[in-house]
Amino acid sequence: MGSSKALRRRCEKIVAELDVPVPLNLDAICAEVSRLTGRPITTQVVDMPAKSPCGLWVAFPDVDAVYVAGATSLEHQHHITLHELSHVLAGHTAAPVDADEVYRLLVPDLDPELVRRIIGRTRYHGGVGGESHYQIPEEVEAETIASMIAARATAWTGTPPLGDVPESAADVVARIGKALTNS
């Protein structure tokens, strides 16, 4: 995938094409990804079996479906959804899997005959074949894009309150805050 600077530039280019709503709205993000890819996007929270991925992107012939683990916080579900959508945006190729494996993961809601391809990721503490999640280039890219989308969707309004900052440091604290919010 190249250097980290090249990766960041590629991710920034992908995110720059998105109309990211502030605050974050996953329905709007899905519609935006659909607009860019020309394919409908569906999302569904499911009960994933133990030790299964937190999220899956299934590319059906006519729709991209994102499945997100239900046994986690709403904020984590949002990030998982962004991560899976980032694979779509980055043009990653979903790895083919055996229909029985798909059926096992998504029983009974999924007809394995309809599946064209699927990509599944593991939790951060480990990946496929013992690889760390962040040693897989596509995972690094998807995670970077997801984080950039989330950052763009953060509603930074006005100047953050300074609280009990001594007057002698108030100017520096305000300038740092302004620099961090790109104001």
DSSP secondary structure string, 76-125? HHHHHHHHHHHHHHTTPPPPP--HHHHHHHHTTS--GGG-SEEEEE--TT
Which structural domain, as residue segments, surrounds residue 166? 159-183
Residues 180 and 137 in one domain: no
Q: Do 60 and 94 lie in a common domain?
A: yes
Residues 56 and 143 in one domain: yes
Determine the Cα–Cα distance for residues 175 and 113; give it in Å rounded to an integer: 58
Same domain assignment for residues 102 and 175: no
| Across 44-58, 63-77, 147-161, least confident range | 147-161
Per-range mean pLDDT, top range of 55-64, 78-87, 151-160: 78-87
Q: Are residues 175 and 131 in the same domain?
A: no
Rg of the Cα trace of the chain?
19
Average pLDDT over residues 9-25: 93
The answer on 87 and 14 residing in a single domain is yes
**pLDDT tens, position by position, 137-155:** 888 999 999 999 999 887 6
Tell me, yes or no, whether 116 and 183 share the same domain.
no
| Shared-domain flag, residues 29 and 112 | yes
> What is the crossing angle of helices 137-152 and 74-89, to 10°?
120
pTM: 0.69
Total structural domains within the chain: 2
